[in-house]
Amino acid sequence: MVAVALATATLVPSGIAGAAPPQRDRFPVDTVIPFPGVCAFDMTAHVLGKNHLITFVDADGNPTGGFLSGQLFVTFTRDDTGATRTFTISGPTFFDENGNIVRGTGRWATFTVDGSFVIASGNFVMDAVGTILEAKGNLRDLCELMA
């Protein structure tokens, strides 16, 4: 399973770059992600918007962390009925020196450690692929919202 959060992270231009401090990149996002079997029905997500990435580096130009943010809109479509729902997922993402996700804030569409697919708003401790391990905020089950 690939969460929209993970998909967003994978849309970062080839990893956290190691150049002169700090490096800034801006890029558009326009991608379709299938979500078969995540709910009792299959869904497809269309993610559209703009992102910007800031990579922080040390004096030697080695990455020390990063920040990805922007304005993204995700439209989930039930494949069986065509019903849609659109969310803004501004979720700023914080990376470690290896480009792994460590923390998220704002609004996300992602998975929780128990496997629930959620629209989440708040502050989150995450694993390297964007699964919420700890949350302070609101988690709404996306499958229930799309039912």
Domain ranges for the chain: 4-146
Is 49 within 8 Å of 8 (Cβ atoms)?
Answer: no
Secondary structure element (H or E) that encloses residue 99, with its range: none
pLDDT for res 1: 44
pLDDT tens digits in sequence order for the chain, 147 residues long: 444 444 444 444 444 443 567 989 999 999 999 999 999 999 999 999 999 999 999 888 899 999 999 999 999 999 999 999 999 998 899 999 999 999 999 999 999 999 999 999 999 999 988 999 999 999 999 999 999
Considering the entire predicted model, what is its pTM? Answer: 0.80
With a CB cutoff of 8 Å and minimum separation 6, the contacts of 124 are 103, 104, 105, 108, 132, 133, 134, 135, 136, 137
The CA dihedral of 56, 59, 62, 64, to the nearest 10 degrees, is -40
pLDDT of residue 49: 96
Three-state SS for 143? helix
Nearest to 107 by CA among 53, 66, 71: 71
Note the pLDDT of residue 86: 97
The alpha-helical segments, DSSP class H, found in 43-141 are none
